[in-house]
Structure formats: C-alpha cells, structure tokens
Amino acid sequence: MTLPLFPLHTVLFPGCQLDLQIFEARYLDMISRCMKQGEGFGVVCIVVGAEVGEAAERVVQIGCEARITDFQQRPNGLLGIRVQGGRRFRVKQAQVLPDKLTLAQIEWLEAQPELPLGEEHADLLALLGALAEHPMVASLDMAGGADSQGELADKLAYLLPFSAEQKVALLAEPDAAQRLGMLQAWVEELQGDGT
C-alpha cells in the first residue's frame, strides 16, 4: 500500500481532529488528489527537519492515516482543511519525489478489539471531560467522552502535553489497556511536576 506522507511536529491519533493550513504546492496537489480519489494521507512525526521547504530528514516509522472531513478558503487566502485520524500504520520504505512530497510503502497495523471502560478508568475519563471544556478542544469538535478504552487512550494521548517521544510510544502500542497504564503513570508525573 502506498500513502503520501505529511510530516509534522505533531502526532495524530485515531478519531482525533487536526486543523491544517495548506500552502505548499506539493501538499496542495496531494490534498487535491486525495479529495478526488476519496483517500487519506499519512501524518508522521518529524524527528529531524522542518515542516516546510525541504523534505524532513527523518520521521518516525509509525503514523496515523488522516481523512479529510472539511475544507475551506481561509481569510488569508490559504486552504484550510480539517482531518480526522484513521488507522495506524508502519512505514516500510519511503522516497522523496522531485516535488519534495514523500511517498511511503506502508502496512496497516492490526486494529485491536474495542474494550469497555471500567470503574478503574473513572479518573482518566474525568480528566478527558475537563479537557473537553477547554475552548481549543471544543473548537476541534472533540468535546464528547469516550466509549472504549482505545478511544479514551487516543483522545488523552492527543490532548495532553506529553513529549513527541511519549506520544509516538502511545501511537505504537497496540494494546489499549497498556496505553491507559502508560497514560496514568505519565499523568501522575505531570501532576508531580505541578503541570
């Protein structure tokens, strides 16, 4: 499976929303093709390099499919799109095309069964509820709760101020219960730091 990549200094998670402003020709062409074909593109986190100009020197090998859910012309004349995270994938091989777009051979990571939330998840669910009241989160239409362990883990991983390395580790972990355990430990660390 071939997927065009959009390297960013952020980590997208399944079910989460991300607003992007598109102005480089390579990405305008990519978005146009994706919309015509009804397909998505891949968001991967940059390890070394920049989001604009030359292709990123190094990106992580785990990413998340981005499906375009809305688009509009911004007041500044640029194209604004909203994407929703889809399936997780692993980059097997990547090449930079002459227009500086990165095209990757990927494999989809197996979707794990949806596990119900239990009483032990009440604190993390309450944290998600508190985050949902933040105007920035509300503007992303992510104000709803979570119906499964995977959804709770993905939303918290996306919204909380963890490092890129921590977010990539969460994206790479297939087991939702394991991801929630990692989140719980890191949230306690953040609280210990007074964050």
pLDDT at 58: 77
Q: What angle (nearest 5°) sits at the alpha carbon of residue 156, between those of residues 40 and 79? A: 35
The DSSP secondary structure of 63-104, one letter per residue, reads EEEEEEEEEEE-TTS-EEEEEEEEEEEEEEEEEE-TTS-EEE
In tens, the pLDDT along 58-69 reads: 789 999 999 999
Quick one: how far is CA 138 from the chain centroid? 17
**Residue 89's pLDDT band (boundaries 50, 70, 90)?**
very high
Quote the pTM value.
0.91
**Residue 90's pLDDT band (boundaries 50, 70, 90)?**
very high
In tens, the pLDDT along 138-167 reads: 788 776 789 999 999 999 999 999 999 999
| Cα 193 from Cα 130, distance rounded (Å) | 19
In tens, the pLDDT along 96-111 reads: 999 999 999 999 999 8
pLDDT at 111: 86
Residue 95, amino acid: Q
